[in-house]
């Protein structure tokens, strides 16, 4: 989302600098400058770059994308605020806090991920609260995240701007939809990280296959497939029933969404994904039925009839069967395009920047 926001702001005539350690390069846009920094020592170098840009008058406001998940930035935030006079806007579409029980669940399934990737998410809440208090304007992606962060900003209003995307490709997919596959298919989009819910997707699929022997699962995820997932495929009798597509190649996800019968979101939002997941929003727009765990702010966009409690994949399978049987028809929702478009989001961010610049 950060690259898309920068592109839209540059298109509106603003001079935009992106400081990143990501290797993906957006399409060149007049007024958009990319500063690629090495991953090692990134935050220290980022603060140095911001101070240099301020010193030559190239910045009016600093935007930090998805602030609270960048725990390594916290020590450098104090340095930035002491030495930089520019206002800071933070967009928060995830939260960093992880319940101990969820961490234990990760530990059981993938000890390496629990220790090296998720251990820092058990940090005390006051660390996040301190970081939020140093921000001039905080914007959340859902009411759920706003409420989670409000204790850190009791005297300041936290705004809400939903997650956003370039809606051009979805508009095109709505025009050229090729229809559903003749065989029943259920889609998973994510990764092999435990909190993205791939294990529960496969467990749900195993239950559904008992009712629909020809049902196929499609999993768009990363390579390689870990042993834990291969083992689960065997125990659920899913050999040959799941087609894995690599996220490392160019996949037409909207066309894939329109061809399947159901999209299942089995992750833990807003920790395992942004809140609400863009994949859920895109599926609704394209008219693909969605079933999901009721986590984070997903209930703000999805009806309760499509939601079940977290980790209850048995109920999720039961709910999925109603859509696979065709009991409940779903129509495309092009009316949602404008609500989640990057053009609309950039205009609202622009208002926030201008308000801070005037104060």
pLDDT digits (tens, 9 = 90+) for 187-244: 999 988 888 899 999 999 999 999 999 999 999 998 899 999 999 999 999 999 999 9
pLDDT surpassing 90 at residue 9: yes
Q: Which two tokens stand for residue 256?
A: 């894939």
Same domain (yes/no): 180, 37: no
Instruction: Report how far apart, in Å, the C-alpha atoms of 6 and of each of 49, 307, 350 are.
Output: 17, 34, 11
Question: How much is the pLDDT for 329?
Answer: 63
Contacts of 330 (CB under 8 A, 6+ apart): 287, 288, 289, 323
Q: Which two tokens stand for residue 295?
A: 């986590």
Same domain (yes/no): 159, 281: no
What is the C-alpha to C-alpha distance for residues 340 and 283, in angstroms, rounded to an integer? 13
Q: Compute the average pLDDT of residues 81-101.
A: 86
Instruction: Report how far apart, in Å, the C-alpha atoms of 355 and of each of 60, 130, 336 are.
Output: 12, 23, 27
What is the C-alpha to C-alpha distance for residues 123 and 99, in angstroms, rounded to an integer? 10
Token pair 């020809």: residue:
214
Q: Compute the average pLDDT of residues 29-40.
A: 90
The residue among 183 and 58 whose pLDDT is bigger is 58
Whole-prediction pTM value?
Answer: 0.90
Q: Which two tokens stand for residue 205?
A: 């699929």
pLDDT surpassing 60 at residue 124: no
Split at pLDDT 50, 70, 90, the class of 66 is: confident
Instruction: Report how far apart, in Å, the C-alpha atoms of 178 and of each of 161, 251, 260, 355 are.
Output: 32, 16, 11, 45
Instruction: Report how far apart, in Å, the C-alpha atoms of 12 and of each of 31, 344, 346 are.
Output: 10, 12, 9
Pick from 26, 29, 1, 24: nearest CA to 14: 29
The residue among 67 and 40 whose pLDDT is bigger is 40
| Continuous segment of H or E residues that includes residue 38 | none
Token pair 């089995």: residue:
266
Same domain (yes/no): 149, 202: no
Same domain (yes/no): 129, 65: yes
Where b means 16+ CB within 10 Å and e means fewer, 173-207 reads bbeebeeeeeebbbbbbbbbbbbbbbbbbbbbbbb
Q: Which of 55-69, 164-178, 204-218 has the lowest mean pLDDT?
A: 164-178
Same domain (yes/no): 110, 172: no
Host domain of residue 278: 168-336
Question: How much is the pLDDT for 205?
Answer: 98
Same domain (yes/no): 120, 147: yes
Question: How much is the pLDDT for 179?
Answer: 65
pLDDT surpassing 80 at residue 121: no
Same domain (yes/no): 27, 126: yes
Question: How much is the pLDDT for 98?
Answer: 72
Helix, coil or strand: residue 311: coil
For the chain, give the mean pLDDT.
Answer: 88
Same domain (yes/no): 283, 329: yes
Same domain (yes/no): 23, 155: yes
Same domain (yes/no): 92, 150: yes
Q: Based on the structure, what is the number of domains in the chain?
A: 2
Q: How many CA atoms lie within 13 A of 37 on its CB side?
A: 17
pLDDT surpassing 70 at residue 22: yes
Question: How much is the pLDDT for 152?
Answer: 62
Q: Which of 5-9, 169-173, 230-234, 266-270 has the lowest mean pLDDT?
A: 169-173
Q: How many CA atoms lie within 13 A of 332 on its CB side?
A: 15
Q: Which two tokens stand for residue 180?
A: 């559903």
Same domain (yes/no): 191, 326: yes
Instruction: Report how far apart, in Å, the C-alpha atoms of 168 and of each of 52, 160, 171, 174, 358 are.
Output: 36, 23, 5, 10, 33
DSSP 252: -
Question: How much is the pLDDT for 347?
Answer: 96
Question: How much is the pLDDT for 70?
Answer: 74
What is the C-alpha to C-alpha distance for residues 239 and 242, in angstroms, rounded to an integer? 7
Question: How much is the pLDDT for 209?
Answer: 97
Same domain (yes/no): 322, 349: no
Q: Compute the average pLDDT of residues 164-179.
A: 79
What is the C-alpha to C-alpha distance for residues 257 and 203, in angstroms, rounded to an integer? 21
């Amino acid at each position: 989302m950060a690259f898309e926001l920068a592109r839209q702001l540059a298109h509106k005539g603003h001079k935009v600098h992106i400081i990143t350690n990501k290797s993906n390069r957006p399409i060149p846009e007049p007024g958009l400058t990319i500063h690629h920094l090495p991953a090692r020592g990134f935050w220290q170098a980022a603060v140095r770059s911001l101070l240099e840009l301020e010193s030559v008058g190239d910045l009016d406001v600093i935007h930090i994308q998805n602030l609270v998940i960048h725990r390594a930035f916290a020590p450098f935030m104090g340095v930035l605020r002491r030495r930089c006079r520019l206002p800071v806007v933070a967009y928060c579409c995830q939260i960093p806090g992880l319940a101990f029980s969820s961490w234990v669940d990760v530990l059981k399934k993938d000890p390496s991920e629990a220790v090296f990737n998720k251990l820092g998410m058990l940090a005390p809440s006051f660390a996040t609260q301190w970081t939020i208090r140093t921000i001039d304007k905080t914007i959340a992606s859902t009411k759920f995240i706003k409420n989670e962060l409000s204790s850190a900003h009791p005297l300041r209003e936290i705004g809400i701007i939903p997650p956003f995307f370039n809606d051009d490709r979805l508009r095109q997919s709505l025009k050229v939809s090729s229809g559903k596959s003749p065989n029943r298919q259920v889609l998973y989009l994510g990764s092999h990280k435990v909190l993205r819910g791939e294990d529960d997707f496969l467990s749900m699929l195993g239950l559904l296959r008992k009712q629909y022997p020809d049902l196929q699962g499609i999993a768009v995820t990363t390579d390689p497939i870990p042993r834990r997932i291969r083992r689960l495929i065997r125990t659920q009798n899913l050999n040959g029933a799941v087609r894995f597509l690599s996220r490392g190649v160019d996949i037409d996800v909207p066309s894939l969404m329109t061809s399947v019968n159901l999209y299942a979101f089995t992750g833990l939002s807003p920790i395992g994904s942004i809140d609400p997941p863009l994949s859920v929003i895109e599926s609704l727009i394209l008219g693909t039925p969605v079933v999901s765990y009721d986590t984070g702010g997903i209930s703000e966009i999805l009806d309760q009839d499509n939601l079940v409690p977290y980790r209850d994949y048995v109920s999720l399978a039961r709910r999925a069967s109603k859509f696979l049987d065709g009991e409940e028809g779903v129509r495309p929702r092009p009316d949602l395009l404008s609500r989640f478009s990057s053009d609309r989001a950039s205009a609202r961010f622009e208002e926030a920047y201008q308000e801070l610049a005037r104060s």
